[in-house]
Structure 1
């Protein structure tokens, strides 16, 4: 592989992740994966203040990914394109993910190393903190048949379940089930019995149209079991798949909401534009977050529609989006803290200095956060979001009390 192709792939890989290739030339690229946080940072006033008013036992990271390459019989599978130098963008994208999870230098035990790093990072949080680890369904076609060739990566339910069972003090898990599978309801019931706390979807990548009547039997089961659906909406840059970007339109989630499903819109649909389908299937394009806001402001969805704040601080988000989420304090009881791990470990993706320059973050927090990120990206993301501000407004402490949301009324 020649140098030009590699550098092109490096920039393209960063762009796919949302950081933009230009950022790579301006700052450190790779996560140094340092060990425990230095005492001067761990005991810093900014870090200690982040825990004020927070009960760590109620703090669950509501958006965290398992990743790997499928070694060690983990069950994880990735698309061969991500292992091939003939596809430099996807190849480098994989390297970013594994470096962010500090599993890039563990030949033969990448999957195990990724989990061990997560365990260590969780251990560096206050006692009681947990992560909700996502399974990730493979793409399926309209007949409910798996399409591995269209699947970027696949994390089976059993993999996420077994990791959570092995480390119950640190992890919970969310299943991922395609609604067109013939056995989707049975699989959902089995996952609920095995302790799944939610269902994770990424509709465009998995080949799911959330507005399709074919999803109705799955929605009915979700509502009956009181399992929330955590689903991506808006533009997706991190995962390729089955296409159909229009299936990420937030308005297409109304069908699930009308079935009584509790829906969490990942990232609050904070990236990209979608057609305003309330003005016709080919209505004008508007920011996806505006469509999310429309649903949030519909009174009938007040107890059903939620958003998680993972990825909102990435470089590819407009600063006005962050400010809007902080200012909408009427939404705060319906927002959930999440990191989108391993993304906080990809150094070019988040710029504390950029946030401070727009007065969304105190300037004094920048060097603390920059050091913190090299040691513990989970703690970095938590402290960063506790420090976010818009004028005199901050994200409410309730945003970080996520555990009760995942308690099911129907056990």
Structure 2
């Protein structure tokens, strides 16, 4: 999950610190309109879906959130609910509002999933979402570090939510490789039908170059399980605070062992050390990701979730749209629930930058009030630069994950 100047709250939720400087310039609350989409938006939505095969439309980046109040097993850092941490508490409220979870709801766990089901129902049959688990942070000795763990979403919970509606959801495991039983957990997740694995190295304290990870990489490669890795700046989930581990160049380690790697958000925020230089200096993380893409690693992919947030540089937007040679290796993703959070998206700013037609701004904003997932998809489909938009193949993501969907589902993933 990525927000530009942000902290993550409530089992993977976040609102940018920079968000609070924009409150006077943009709507700050999700109105959470319910019921059927207004008739005047039907044609707009259908045009946005035109040319896509719903059976291939899998959202590759969707967060499953909760607090554990209904037995999910999710947990969050205590500071996120303590009144003497007012900024964290406010951010938590913003992300819950983005997911249309009311402050007085009886169960955050249930309300979050119910809203996700309602949003998915507006999509044509076949569209599906990858629901992320998220493991705890561990130190180099393999000890769990609760004080570093911003949030935790168990594998079993992600599996159970997906299994309850397999026509709409599949699940993504998260297993810290420093766990003593990491390989056994990975085998269990594969057997239980996980379609990918999610890591956030800077928060979880995972060095992709660590020699101990080689057996883990071998197992991923043999199973053809993609590894989704957050690359670039990460302020949403401070965790272990190892910012240097978010360097996209570190993906070369798993790539060298044949692992399919998905760089979340195309490393589109922040900077990292250019490790290819004799005297490494800081470079734009997106530029380092672009270097990897141009090295022609066939198993390097990038998801486009969060790319059109206001905290991204216009050069990122233009590059992703016009590098059509990248499009077969780019994947649609929403980073839900962020499309519903405050002023993180401003269609008017994109129109001002020349990426949207002025006539598209109002229907996009109206659509966002009713269904942030449809809004995010429509925005990604309509953004263009010099006549070039994201190719339909960016939205045909199913084949990247389908190799594992036939795995036995009877085994129970270890949480």
Q: The TM-score by the shorter chain falls in which range? A: over 0.9
- Asked whether 1:293 is paired with 2:276, we answer no
Alignment of 1:12-411 (within 5 A): 17=16, 19-44=18-43, 46-280=44-278, 283-299=280-296, 301-302=297-298, 304-408=299-403
Distance 1:12 1:215, change over 3 A: closer
SS of the equivalent of 2:358 reads coil
Distance 1:18 1:380, change over 3 A: farther
Q: Is the 8 A contact 1:136 1:155 kept in 2?
A: yes
Quote the Cα distance in structure 2 between the aligned partners of 1:120 and 1:11.
Answer: 27
How big is the shift at 1:12? Answer: 12
Q: Is the 8 A contact 2:29 2:97 kept in 1?
A: yes
Quote the Cα distance in structure 1 between the aligned partners of 2:201 and 2:289.
Answer: 16
Distance 1:15 1:95, change over 3 A: closer
Q: Is the 8 A contact 1:268 1:292 kept in 2?
A: yes
How big is the shift at 1:27? Answer: 2.1
Q: Is the 8 A contact 1:18 1:315 kept in 2?
A: no
Distance 1:208 1:123, change over 3 A: same
Distance 1:94 1:317, change over 3 A: same
Q: Is the 8 A contact 1:136 1:153 kept in 2?
A: yes
How big is the shift at 1:322? Answer: 0.7
SS of the equivalent of 1:210 reads coil
Quote the Cα distance in structure 2 between the aligned partners of 1:327 and 1:172.
Answer: 31
Quote the Cα distance in structure 2 between the aligned partners of 1:16 and 1:49.
Answer: 31
Distance 1:237 1:129, change over 3 A: same
How big is the shift at 1:85? Answer: 1.6
The runs of 5 or more residues in structure 2 that have no matched partner are 1-5, 408-415
TM-score, normalising length: structure 1: 0.93
How big is the shift at 1:89? Answer: 2.0
Q: How many residues align?
A: 398
The runs of 5 or more residues in structure 1 that have no matched partner are 1-9
Distance 1:295 1:12, change over 3 A: closer
How big is the shift at 1:126? Answer: 1.5
How big is the shift at 1:39? Answer: 2.8
CA RMSD of aligned residues (A): 1.9
How big is the shift at 1:42? Answer: 3.1
Q: Is the 8 A contact 2:8 2:237 kept in 1?
A: no
Q: Which has the higher helix share?
A: 1
Larger relative CO (CA 8 A, sep 6+): 1 or 2? 2
SS of the equivalent of 1:133 reads strand
Distance 1:201 1:15, change over 3 A: closer
Q: Is the 8 A contact 2:14 2:91 kept in 1?
A: no
Distance 1:130 1:65, change over 3 A: same
Q: Is the 8 A contact 1:37 1:372 kept in 2?
A: no
SS of the equivalent of 2:130 reads strand
TM-score, normalising length: structure 2: 0.92
Distance 1:408 1:171, change over 3 A: same
Quote the Cα distance in structure 2 between the aligned partners of 1:189 and 1:106.
Answer: 40
